[in-house]
Amino acid sequence: MWRIDREYSAPLWGDEVEYTLVHLNSEAARSTVLLDQTRILKKWTDYMAGTESDLSRSVIQPEWASYMLESMPDQPYRGNLDALLAVEGDMKRRRNLIQQFLLQDQHVVSISIFPCLGISDQFTTPHFVPSPTTAHSRMLPREICSPITRYSLLEQNICARRVDRAETHVPIYRDAKTPWPFQDSPPCSTIDQGPRRGDDASPQVQDNCIYLDGVGFGPGSCCVQATFQVENESAARWLYDQLIPLGPVILALTAATPVYKGYLADSDVRWNWISASLDDRTAQEKASLPPRFSSNMTYISEDKRCKEEYICSKLLVNDDVKEQLLRGGMDQRLATHFAHIMSRDPVYLSQTDISDVNVGDANILDAFQSGVWQHVRLKMPPPDSSDIGWRVEFRPMEVQPRDSENAAFVIFMFLLSRAIIAFDLDFYIPIDKVTESMDAAHKRHAVLSERLWFRKEGWSSERFCSTMCFRQGQTCLCGTSAIARRDSGISVSQDPEYALMSVDKIINGEGESEPVGRAKFPGLIPIILAYLELSGISQNQMIRLSPYLDLVSKRASTQLPTPAHWIRSFVKRHPKYQRDSVVHQEICYDLMKEIVHLGSD
């Protein structure tokens, strides 16, 4: 199953976009999530059976919540520039495919999480209410979970293992009239029920936090993911490592989650709150065991530039699994990675997986991998396919309201992945700095106010400099002139190698205000532009591609707001907003109307 010899030259790639189904009731000025996944999937299946149209080039499939759907192209994109320029159109086509199955006042939107999910008033269509005795949540009705078996068992098994329901505490945004200290009200069904234990324990509501009860607030949120196929195992492991430090940067750039349960939050992204909702650890385990949903904990390349000090020193591994993998010929780094993945029980295994074990089948490995959620995932070639190679999945991006925005970020990430491989770029920083930056990326307006750890020096390579330094003459993008390097022996790698940097400087580069005599980081977009120049991009292609790179650049420089910033501003400008952090139903309704409009642009 470990296909170390698999070579595949085509740089294929793809995306997955998750959507929320909403119903807009104009008479009541109310927006709700539409629990219509099953009907739409049936409509799509029937449609696919009788059509050969362009819409059949899409894949629509279920996600965790019965108000969610996921779309992807039915065939991977090619790596050429014409294919890049077709991505936005493909995303629009997929959105339209879902929309055509919806009724009047029903819409498909790409939002991170529905702002009024879990409020005490109606928030689902049809209207369901939570059961006062349910173990999984007293805020979310059971009908909110997709009927797909693996999704319902995910929820049941997580709650069963932790011997309690999931509780998440999201810091609330403090406005001028927000009661302080703020005390969220638990659902009335949790009060005055007599003695409790386990599932019936009283909610532990924290001051100044939005209280979320249940697993659904995590997998009930949406994202966009991109998967990149590379030439071989070595390239996949290198790309995997280099994408890990990029996770916090892109998370901050795509921030889209400033509202939970009808309250403005004091954070802009969903990552840590998903982690909390899917946390299956018991109270005793939390001191020593990391959560299942977290940023990556392992680097896996054998390259000497992956220094020991970059690697997590307190990694949880299954020693028996690691020993077996080493005996089977796997190297230390990769064996440690899989032993870490398999240090946790799978969340879900079918009886077939257990009874029909086949050493050439990836089902059980997939069960372990899908039970540990990290922001970058290595995907090995399937044992039963000769057409699929080594792939790396990039997972931290929050879904954007517009298809043009989602297209911009997946195109940016594809081009950056190709530049990393082509130029052998080195973005290593210590794993604990990645974790620290992921936390910083949650802050309000992190793009503007936070600095993230990133590789500042030593990121270049001989392959990059031999191409770009002498191609551009006196000055290379690595910040050191070719002549100076040759004459004075200046090293490309200097200490300190990494530093706290603004998102703007990471994306667009450091300006002339930086100290004289030190190499300046050129920025990821200038590196991509250098790669495109080397690739022989035509002027016409560059004109058409530029708007996507410009969008990422302007997000980083704050010329364009993140969706989180835009949503927060929309709420605060609304005439019904009382500066008390409460996002009332009417505000949510108007917000959803505007997001529907943005999605149709």
d(CA 594, CA 511): 37
CA distances from 117 to 26, 333, 505, 561 (A): 19, 42, 36, 24
HSE-CB at 181 with a 13 A cutoff on CA atoms is: 9
Mean pLDDT calculated for residue range 495-511: 90
The pLDDT value given to residue 162 = 81
Mean pLDDT calculated for residue range 421-431: 96
Residue (of 537, 4, 475, 564) closest to 257 by Cα position: 564
Mean pLDDT calculated for residue range 111-122: 97
Q: Are residues 475 and 569 in the same domain?
A: no
> Residue 423 — very low, low, confident or very high, per pLDDT cuts 50/70/90?
very high
Query: Under DSSP, is residue 124 helix (H, G, I), strand (E, B) or coil?
Result: strand
> Residue 486 — very low, low, confident or very high, per pLDDT cuts 50/70/90?
very low
Mean pLDDT calculated for residue range 12-17: 97
Of 360 and 36, the one with more pLDDT: 36
**Does the structure show a pLDDT above 50 at 509?**
yes
DSSP letters of 5-27? T-------EEEEEEEEEEEEETT
Listed range (366-375, 377-386, 477-486) with the worst mean pLDDT: 477-486
Residue labelled with tokens 């917000």: 591
Residue 423 region, left (φ>0) first, then alpha (ψ -120 to 50), else beta?
alpha
Q: Is residue 311 part of a domain?
A: no
Give how many domains the chain has, as a whole number.
2
The pLDDT value given to residue 360 = 63
d(CA 259, CA 574): 15
d(CA 464, CA 455): 16
Q: Is residue 168 part of a domain?
A: no
Q: Is residue 302 part of a domain?
A: no
The pLDDT value given to residue 97 = 94
Q: Are residues 416 and 478 in the same domain?
A: no
DSSP letters of 329-387? T--HHHHHHHHHHTTS--S---HHHHHT--TT--HHHHHHHHTSB-SEEEEPPPTT-SS
Listed range (132-146, 297-311, 520-534) with the worst mean pLDDT: 132-146
Mean pLDDT calculated for residue range 448-455: 97
**Does the structure show a pLDDT above 90 at 132?**
no
CA distances from 65 to 5, 104, 151, 218, 467 (A): 39, 22, 8, 10, 49
Residue (of 95, 123, 120) closest to 108 by Cα position: 95
Query: Under DSSP, is residue 534 helix (H, G, I), strand (E, B) or coil?
Result: helix
**Does the structure show a pLDDT above 90 at 554?**
yes
The pLDDT value given to residue 216 = 94
Of 574 and 2, the one with more pLDDT: 574
Q: Is residue 187 part of a domain?
A: no
> Residue 131 — very low, low, confident or very high, per pLDDT cuts 50/70/90?
confident
**Count of residues for the chain?**
601
Q: Are residues 423 and 552 in the same domain?
A: no
Q: Which amino acid is at 237?
A: R
The pLDDT value given to residue 156 = 86
> Residue 359 — very low, low, confident or very high, per pLDDT cuts 50/70/90?
low
Q: Are 292 and 344 in contact (CB under 8 A)?
A: yes
The pLDDT value given to residue 476 = 62
> Angle at Cα 476 formed by Cα 300 and Cα 299, nearest 5°?
5
Of 284 and 461, the one with more pLDDT: 284
The pLDDT value given to residue 52 = 66
Burial class from Cβ neighbours inside 10 Å (0-12, 13-18, 19+) for residue 308 reads exposed
Q: Are residues 87 and 47 in the same domain?
A: yes
Residue labelled with tokens 């697993």: 215
Q: Is residue 279 part of a domain?
A: yes
Q: Is residue 436 part of a domain?
A: no
Q: Are residues 401 and 529 in the same domain?
A: no
HSE-CB at 443 with a 13 A cutoff on CA atoms is: 15
Mean pLDDT calculated for residue range 570-574: 98
Q: Are residues 540 and 571 in the same domain?
A: no
Q: Are residues 53 and 96 in the same domain?
A: yes
**Does the structure show a pLDDT above 50 at 149?**
yes
Query: Under DSSP, is residue 451 helix (H, G, I), strand (E, B) or coil?
Result: strand
The pLDDT value given to residue 208 = 97
d(CA 141, CA 216): 10
The pLDDT value given to residue 436 = 97
Q: Are residues 242 and 380 in the same domain?
A: yes
Q: Which two tokens stand for residue 247?
A: 């996770």
The pLDDT value given to residue 474 = 46
CATH number of the domain to which 291 belongs: 3.30.590.50
Listed range (3-17, 129-143, 184-198, 558-572) with the worst mean pLDDT: 184-198
Q: Are residues 282 and 395 in the same domain?
A: yes
**Does the structure show a pLDDT above 50 at 314?**
yes
Q: Are 595 and 475 in contact (CB under 8 A)?
A: no
Listed range (90-99, 127-136, 148-157) with the worst mean pLDDT: 127-136
> Residue 491 — very low, low, confident or very high, per pLDDT cuts 50/70/90?
very low
The pLDDT mean for the chain works out to 88
d(CA 590, CA 241): 42
> How large a percentage of the chain has pLDDT more than 70?
86
Task: DSSP letter for 131, please.
Answer: -
Q: Are residues 398 and 491 in the same domain?
A: no
Q: Are residues 394 and 376 in the same domain?
A: yes
Q: Which two tokens stand for residue 559?
A: 């010329």
The pLDDT value given to residue 473 = 46
Residue 459 region, left (φ>0) first, then alpha (ψ -120 to 50), else beta?
alpha
> Angle at Cα 337 formed by Cα 399 and Cα 368, nearest 5°?
65
DSSP letters of 144-191? GB-S-HHHHHHHHHHHHHHTS--EEEEEBP--TT--SS--PPPPGGGS
The pLDDT value given to residue 264 = 99
Q: Are 567 and 458 in contact (CB under 8 A)?
A: no
Q: Quick: pLDDT tens for 178-229.
A: 999 999 987 754 444 433 434 556 678 999 999 999 899 999 999 999 999 9
Residue (of 110, 94, 118) closest to 257 by Cα position: 110
> Residue 475 — very low, low, confident or very high, per pLDDT cuts 50/70/90?
low
Q: Is residue 83 part of a domain?
A: yes
d(CA 264, CA 210): 9
The pLDDT value given to residue 186 = 78
Mean pLDDT calculated for residue range 452-474: 71
Q: Is residue 323 part of a domain?
A: no
Q: Are residues 292 and 405 in the same domain?
A: yes
Mean pLDDT calculated for residue range 368-374: 88
Mean pLDDT calculated for residue range 88-105: 96
d(CA 297, CA 290): 10
Maximum pairwise Cα distance, the chain: 81
CA distances from 395 to 227, 236, 273 (A): 9, 15, 15
The pLDDT value given to residue 354 = 72
The pLDDT value given to residue 136 = 76
Q: Are 12 and 236 in contact (CB under 8 A)?
A: no
The pLDDT value given to residue 3 = 58
- Residue 505: give the domain boundaries: 450-557
**Does the structure show a pLDDT above 50 at 113?**
yes
Mean pLDDT calculated for residue range 22-45: 97
Q: Quick: pLDDT tens for 518-535.
A: 668 999 999 999 999 998
**Does the structure show a pLDDT above 80 at 593?**
yes
